[in-house]
A and B are shown apart, each in its own frame.
Chain A
């Protein structure tokens, strides 16, 4: 009788241990599978962001904008690398229901041919994406601005931002938690923009400084939006990438000028482009202001080449 009871207990013990092991493996497998599915989905979203920003290349328009909506709160990470052409690594993480506030991000998508200005980590349900061209003095690229926040532009000059971007209010700021961007003066400002352009410009804000979180960011032209919408680290990195590319395009123009010369389409820009290419290719954000003066000179020369202009 005692033996039978012992056997009965052993059978139960065995079943509990084996059943527990199977249950553990099943739960572990389900969690791992859930993680893999989430990683896959987040990686796909990051890749999709790279693709859906393609139509935002402005072409000959002043700019363009779009909206990306997610079904749950999503964090977009932007890591910038500035070696040569550099890249923006975009990854996406979703909010976690348990444990850490955010799940681990999916695989990052490297974007080498675009310049995405955003915070290093921004989170929200709806993201607004808009783009502006960067000409220095020829077209270098389109700048892409990505933000989930609402903005209120106080005392903004005419033509800023120049697009009916829904998350940027210029007159009658009504959204309570909007980031207040003040041009020159204003109350309760989160971001200040000080224009300093005195000659050869359409507006005093064609060149200046954006002050954000106590940090100064120098800008020229449409880079102002980059300074407003991104962190200092992302901004400086993207500027170095843009200037490197501007230098490479200058080198290409020098070679193109030789080909045009062979067809009797001479240009007097070669010497300027050689100097410009060296200067801009090794420049940083601190050199923007002095470079802008030079762009005006080169652009005037190119416009003067009525028959065989380079751009």
Chain B
């Protein structure tokens, strides 16, 4: 009888030990997974950041926005007007980023006013409606062809191309 009780005790001890060891490894695994997935979010954030930065030149030089294919980082104001209107909606799935905006930098403005319109300073080429976007920007030239007194010239001003990407949560903390 005493042997039976001792045997049962051993089994219970072993069962508790096995369960404890099992939970220990589960906890270690969860801890490890937490570190790994934090790294995944960080990698995703880094890749998005890289893509957004490299997209700035790609977008400025796209034939849909570019003023002259031999001029880099120079956007066409007429094309901006077309793309920020209804025609631009057909490009909704095309953009590699979540938003594309172009601001006039000079003269300095206090209030953002959407183009087209009198005294406007901002073209919204694309916005997919996502919130919490992280934005990256680069200076560009905004040009248009003007004809005066029988000759034409390129009328250019300084602008800023701003692209937005959805930010990965861990990238926010970096």
Contacts and interface: CB of A to CB of B under 8 A. Distances in A.
A138 B22 contact: no
B30 to A, nearest CB: 11
Interface string A297-311: 000000000011001
Interface string B6-22: 01001100110010011
Contacts of A18: 14-15, 18
Contacts of A48: 47
A141 B63 contact: yes
A272 B166 CA distance: 41
How many B residues touch the partner, as a band?
Answer: 35 or more
Interface in B74-122: 76, 78-79, 81-83, 85, 87, 90-91, 93-96
Given A44-B47, A307-B147, A113 B69 contact: no
Interface string B50-88: 110011011001111010111110001011011101010
Given A48-B47, A51-B47, A252-B82, A59 B61 contact: yes
A29 B14 CA distance: 23
B43 interface: yes
A255 B79 CA distance: 8
B146 interface: yes
Chain B binding surface SS class: helix
B76 A113 contact: no
Contact of A112 (B11, B64, B87, B93): B93
A265 B144 CA distance: 11
Contact of B79 (A29, A59, A252): A252
B151 interface: yes
B152 A307 contact: yes
B54 A60 contact: no
A14 B14 contact: yes
B35 interface: no
Contact of A40 (B40, B61, B78, B146): B40
How many A residues touch the partner, as a band?
Answer: 35 or more
B69 to A, nearest CB: 4
A113 B60 CA distance: 13
Contacts of A111: 96
A55 B51 CA distance: 11
Nearest to B33: A33
Contacts of B7: 4, 7, 10-11
Contacts of B27: none
Contacts, number: 125
Interface string A1-43: 0011001001100110011001001100100010001001000
Interface string A84-109: 11000000000000000000000000
A276 B161 CA distance: 31
Interface of A: 3-4, 7, 10-11, 14-15, 18-19, 22, 25-26, 29, 33, 37, 40, 44, 47-48, 50-51, 54-55, 57, 59-60, 84-85, 111-113, 133, 135, 138-141, 248-249, 251-252, 255-256, 259-260, 263-265, 307-308, 311
Contacts of B3: 3-4, 7
A111 B93 CA distance: 10
A135 B70 CA distance: 13
26 contacts: A3-B3, A3-B4, A7-B7, A14-B14, A18-B14, A22-B25, A40-B40, A47-B47, A54-B54, A54-B55, A57-B58, A57-B61, A60-B70, A84-B93, A85-B93, A133-B69, A252-B79, A252-B82, A255-B87, A256-B79, A259-B78, A263-B147, A265-B147, A265-B152, A307-B147, A307-B151
B36 interface: yes
A307 B150 CA distance: 9
A267 to B, nearest CB: 10
A50 B36 CA distance: 24
Given A44-B43, A139-B69, A248-B90, A259 B81 contact: yes
